[in-house]
Amino acid sequence: MRRDVIVVGGSAGSTQALRHLVSLLPADLQAGVLVATHLAPHAPNRLARYLANAGSLPAVPAADRQRMQAGTLYTAVPDRHLLLSDQDVLRLTRGPRENRVRPAVDALFRSAARWCGPRVIGVVLSGSLDDGAAGLAAIVERGGTVLVQQPDEAKFPGMPRAALRAVPDAAALSATQIARAITQLAGTSVSPLDTEPSEDLIWETDMIENVYSSTGPPGQPMALGCPECSGGMSVVETGKAVHYVCHTGHSYSPETFVAARDDNIETALWTALSSLEEQSVVLEDMAARADQAGDHQGYHRNLSAVQRIREAMTLLGRQPIDEADAPQTS
């Protein structure tokens, strides 16, 4: 068994480091290279061409069900997870999003960890938040080797820092040093593992590839709701890394979960404020019409409702309608 699978993940700020790294890899590299970066769902698929022009290693967009070949770089494509499956077969799937994205770094890392174990070299480059950290821990748990871009060199140090928290023993290197380490490690012998992947890892990789698993849900239940589907969530621990997964397979690292909930809260607040403002406008109109019709009971009832709305808007942080604009008592 040899180290012949290299999985690379990055997000914001990773393109320049990735291009530099690839420019230093030899054309006869004794490993296949799989690259997952965060891509907008409808973005033009240009990364492979960009990397092919960087150095001597051939680079192509990954295609579903093709077999990975040594000496070739495969890039993820928009709105598909790039996975490595049994017998080194590449898969492109629309499985549940992980860390709010598809393709996700963790999805690629976990699939490689499950099927290739010690053969894997995992690399985390520049990016925000913490996608890739739990996946890198899974690679280590399955006997693989991991390399992390130095946070001080990364344009966005969030992902490298999270990776080093999850795997403190990982080598923190410059992009140049990562390329040299890959070249030295690729093709070297490694001992096979005598243990099977955990049921948690099997369930998550099954769900991301097939949206079905015969094993039970992973981890321990938590009093959390999935930000995407509102389903119940469990916490999964991999070494020092923690992430949360719902019953349908949506997965969140801690920082990404908090960011998703921040977005949900902001959306809910704006929706609530908009609804309250609309109610206020209608109730004020109803109060004015009741006043004109001499319906004093209806006038006061609607005016009281407007006042309750003003109080609610104040609690939500929005200044209510100016008192001078409100209907006046007869």
Do 114 and 50 fall within a single domain? yes
Q: Indicate if 318 and 227 belong to the same structural domain.
A: no
State whether 19 and 149 are in the same domain. Answer: yes
Does 221 fall in a domain?
A: yes
3-state secondary structure of 191: coil
What is the per-residue pLDDT for 316? 67
DSSP 218-264: PSEEEEEE-TTT--EEEEEEETTEEEEEETT--EE-HHHHHHHHHHH
Structural domain includes residue 200: no
Strand 241-246 and strand 232-238: the pairing is: antiparallel
The answer to whether the CB of 31 falls within 8 A of the CB of 186 is yes
Examine residue 205 and state whether it is found in any structural domain, yes or no: no
Single-letter code of the amino acid located at 65? R
153 and 245 belong to one structural domain: no
Residue 103 lies inside a defined structural domain of this protein? yes
| Residues annotated as part of the active site | 11, 38, 131
- Give pLDDT, residue 321: 45
Burial label, 148 (beta-carbon count in 10 A; 0-12, 13-18, 19+): buried
Residues of the chain falling short of pLDDT 70? 263-270, 273, 316-330
Residue 120 forms part of a structural domain: yes
Domain co-membership, 179 together with 278: no
Q: Are residues 226 and 173 in the same domain?
A: no
Order of all β-strands in the sheet with 232-238: 220-225, 232-238, 241-246, 251-252
76 occurs within a structural domain: yes
Q: Measured between alpha carbons, how far is 194 from 81 in angstroms, rounded to an integer?
A: 29
Terminal Cα distance for the chain, rounded: 90
Q: What is the pLDDT of residue 217?
A: 85
State whether 132 and 48 are in the same domain. yes
Question: Residue 95: which of 243, 169, 11, 204 has the closest Cα?
Answer: 204
Q: Where are the alpha helices (DSSP H) in 43-157?
A: 47-52, 105-116, 133-141
What's the pLDDT score for residue 225? 92
Amino acid 98: pLDDT:
95
CATH number, domain with residue 56? 3.40.50.180
Distance, in Å, from the CA atom of 67 to the CA atom of 83, rounded to the nearest integer, reads: 11
* 111 and 167 belong to one structural domain: yes
Q: What is the pLDDT of residue 124?
A: 98
What domain count does the chain have? 3
**99 within some domain:** yes
What distances in angstroms separate CA 180 from CA 29, 70, 184, one per listed residue? 11, 17, 6
140 and 60 housed in the same domain: yes
pTM above 0.85, yes or no: no
pLDDT digits (tens, 9 = 90+) for 256-270: 999 888 766 666 666
What range does the domain containing 308 cover?
Answer: 263-325
Which alpha helices (DSSP H) does the chain contain, by range?
14-23, 47-52, 105-116, 133-141, 158-166, 175-185, 199-210, 254-292, 296-315
